[in-house]
Amino acid sequence: MVIEIKNLVKRYDKIIALDYLNLMVKEGQIHGILGPAGSGKTTLTDCILGLKKYDKGSILLWGKKMERDSYELKRDIGVVLEEEAVFEELTLYENISYFCSLYLGDKQKVKEYTKETIEFLGLEDFIRLYPKKLSPGLLRRLNFACGIVHKPKLLILDEPIEDTDPHSKKKIMDSIMELKNRGTTILYFSQEIDEIEQLCTEITMLDKGKVIAQGTKEELKDMISLGEKITVEVYSLSENQLKDISQLPNVSGAEYNNQSLIMRAKKGRNNLMTLLDYLQEQKIPFGRIITEMPTLDDVYLEITGKELKD
């Protein structure tokens, strides 16, 4: 086990930021922590890194307790935070090289790792530029490069691609997958469902410092009663027909707007067939059909009663 957190409690006076939190992260996993603003993601990162004291519980990294001066452990960890943490007075190359030199003494190795990381993130054309001259996407890639250049075994990523242009977002997401393929364990904090769905093998949902659900995305989707959302292009529908549809077996709701019929079903078999049978029986002409399975957003909403994002 790379990270082993048991019954972690962290209070700020009366606020309970982490509430008996348990988390296990296995080697080689990308473990996503999904939670809205204020759910305790930053506090958890600080506790894992030994930057904040906690009130109760235990945190072990590779079976060892992290302390402020656990330099051996820290050497194996890379951190990329949402806010860029680079030096304005250093060029892109100098920034990456500097962060590498904080961990490695061997100058030749620093040079080698810096070059490799620059190529890895496609930053070759920008090495002489200062951070102020970089576009927001390139700045994100530089920030990411500084966190991974020393080849950590555990990478903690706190919303590393929030508000990033599609090209840099793809570059960073591909790099994360490649690092995983090379054996890096990754803890990935985000509020973005699509990033978590694409990248993570295991997911923990947080709400007010509490773990509300944990598992693979399939396991999480299995926890809720919601089935698919079916959208059918229907050219005309009477109020009575809409009422009939909302009362079909296993249907939790139906609405009709702009020639679009949306039916939400509970988990079960043949929901689409039941709807199509009804439309045919009533001789209601219909066009395109779209079926969408529940998302992690739906899981979060059903368990907590609120959306991940406002």
**Which CB atom, from 191 or from 260, has the smaller least distance to ligand ATP?**
191
C-beta of residue 39 within 8 angstroms of C-beta of residue 208: yes
Cβ at position 150, least distance to ligand ATP in Å: 25
Q: Is 37 in the site for ligand ATP (CB under 6 A)?
A: yes
Strand-pairing partners, residue 80, are 157
Cβ at position 46, least distance to ligand ATP in Å: 8
In which element (H, E) is residue 202 found? strand 202-207
Stretch that binds ligand ATP, among 10-18, 88-96, 115-123, 134-142 (CB under 6 A): 10-18
Count residues binding ligand ATP (CB under 6 A).
11
Pick from 120, 50, 131: nearest CA to 85? 131
Q: Is 12 in the site for ligand ATP (CB under 6 A)?
A: yes
**Which CB atom, from 39 or from 95, has the smaller least distance to ligand ATP?**
39
Q: Is 15 in the site for ligand ATP (CB under 6 A)?
A: yes
The 3 state secondary structure assigned to 8-21 is EEEEECCEEEEEEE
Q: Is 41 in the site for ligand ATP (CB under 6 A)?
A: yes
Q: Is 17 in the site for ligand ATP (CB under 6 A)?
A: yes
Cβ at position 185, least distance to ligand ATP in Å: 21
Stretch that binds ligand ATP, among 40-48, 177-185, 255-263, 269-277 (CB under 6 A): 40-48
Q: Is 14 in the site for ligand ATP (CB under 6 A)?
A: no
**Which CB atom, from 34 or from 299, has the smaller least distance to ligand ATP?**
34
Stretch that binds ligand ATP, among 21-29, 37-45, 174-182, 235-243 (CB under 6 A): 37-45
Query: Which one-letter amino acid corresponds to residue 24?
Result: M
Distance CA 247, CA 279 (A): 14
Q: Is 43 in the site for ligand ATP (CB under 6 A)?
A: yes
Query: Which one-letter amino acid corresponds to residue 194?
Result: D
The 3 state secondary structure assigned to 241-271 is HHHHHHCCCCEEEEEEECCEEEEEEECCCCH
Cβ at position 82, least distance to ligand ATP in Å: 8
Q: Is 214 in the site for ligand ATP (CB under 6 A)?
A: no
Structural tokens at position 231: 């959208």
Burial class (CB in 10 A: 0-12, 13-18, 19+), 206: buried
Q: Is 304 in the site for ligand ATP (CB under 6 A)?
A: no
C-beta of residue 148 within 8 angstroms of C-beta of residue 117: yes
Alpha-carbon dihedral angle through residues 172, 178, 182, 188, given to the nearest 10 degrees: 50
**What angle do helix axes 239-246 and 271-281 make, rounded to 10 degrees?**
150
Cβ at position 29, least distance to ligand ATP in Å: 21
Distance CA 131, CA 16 (A): 38
Q: Is 310 in the site for ligand ATP (CB under 6 A)?
A: no
Read off φ and ψ for residue 249, nearest 5 degrees.
-60, 140
Q: Give the angle subtended at the CA of 179 by the CAs of 48 and 21, to the nearest 5°.
A: 25
Q: Is 39 in the site for ligand ATP (CB under 6 A)?
A: yes
Residue in 40, 50, 78, 147 binding ligand ATP, rule: CB under 6 A: 40
Cβ at position 12, least distance to ligand ATP in Å: 3
Estimate to the nearest angstrom the gap between the alpha carbon of 108 and the chain centroid. Answer: 35
Interface residue list for ligand ATP (CB under 6 A): 12, 15, 17, 35, 37-43
